Amino acid sequence: MAVHFSLSQNMKNLGRYLNRARFVVLPNPYGQTGILRARFNDAVFVSLKHRYLFTSNEKVANSTLRATFQNLECDGKLPPHYKQFKRWTGPLLQPSDVPDFAGILSNPSVRKFCVVRHPYTRLISCYRDKLENRKDASYRRKMRELGLYRSRRILFAEFLEAISKQLQPEMNSHWRIQFYNVFMDMIRYDEIIRYEQLNSRLADLVAELYPDQGSARIAILSRNRKPESSEGLVDAYFTPELKSLVRQVYRLDFETFGYEP
């Protein structure tokens, strides 16, 4: 098996990692604590070359968007040391990589977009993927985050009840209120795309941002799709009482993004 080694790439990655560390440790407008600054820095993707910015949003086509745009940014030739969740190794930049990031946020020529999803189906997707019929280390970690320590499988109603007792900063990004997940209080978006319309919108968006790419549909890298969509399972998972609970917890999402309860 060939081993790829690039001293210049390693040095560049080290420099970006150190920039990230400074961004997280030193006070700035993008979070009151180091944890919140790290959350912001790791969620925001920037292309200076193609003049756009987008924010990841877990359980909302996050893996598809990350894979698609990271590949497009480098013409499909990802760096040898690229690791999906080590942002400083990828071609798309973090806020910590951009000296005048505040200028990027205020610059109308830099296109800014995010994708959001109906709170009901996002929670179903999260439960099915992370908790339902799972007993691995990731499952146990998320159970601890929910304050639950049980040997038996957690029920969907118990999952929602545990979420309802958490403060927003304590929430895992996979079920955090989307208003905060995409930093609506810090970023003014040009376009907020609904997940429900993403299939018809994404190819056009790729073609607009990368007009020289060729076939935009071929460039889209779909990831982690289950055979049965969560969109058709609302009645199987939700009771009227659970819908009422979610409307209370995710009130900002329903109101901000115009979803019907």
Q: Which pLDDT score is estimated for 177?
A: 98
What is the C-alpha separation between 86 and 251, in angstroms, rounded? 32
Q: Which pLDDT score is estimated for 245?
A: 98
Q: Which pLDDT score is estimated for 2?
A: 45
232 φψ region: left (φ > 0), alpha (ψ -120 to 50), beta (else)? alpha
Q: Which pLDDT score is estimated for 3?
A: 45
What is the C-alpha separation between 9 and 119, in angstroms, rounded? 40
Q: Which pLDDT score is estimated for 226?
A: 67
184-193 burial string, b = 16+ CB within 10 Å, else e? beebebeebb
Residue type for 166, please?
Q
Residue type for 200, please?
S
Question: Which of 110, 124, 117 minimizes the C-alpha distance to 198?
Answer: 117
One digit per residue, the tens of pLDDT, for the chain of length 261 reads 344 556 677 888 999 999 999 999 999 999 999 999 999 999 999 999 999 999 999 999 999 999 999 999 999 899 888 998 899 999 999 999 999 999 999 999 999 999 999 999 999 999 999 998 877 788 888 988 898 877 678 899 999 999 999 999 999 999 999 999 999 999 999 999 999 999 999 999 999 999 987 666 677 887 766 667 888 999 999 999 999 999 999 999 999 999 998
Torsion sign, CA atoms 198, 201, 204, 205: negative
Q: Which pLDDT score is estimated for 6?
A: 66
* Cβ-defined contacts of 159-164 (< 8 Å, 24+): 159/123, 159/127, 159/131, 160/123, 160/242, 160/245, 160/246, 160/249, 161/245, 163/123, 163/249, 164/245, 164/248, 164/249
Token digits for 185?
Answer: 């209080």
Q: Which pLDDT score is estimated for 136?
A: 78
Q: What are phi and psi of 10, to 5 degrees?
A: -65, -40
Q: Which pLDDT score is estimated for 47?
A: 98
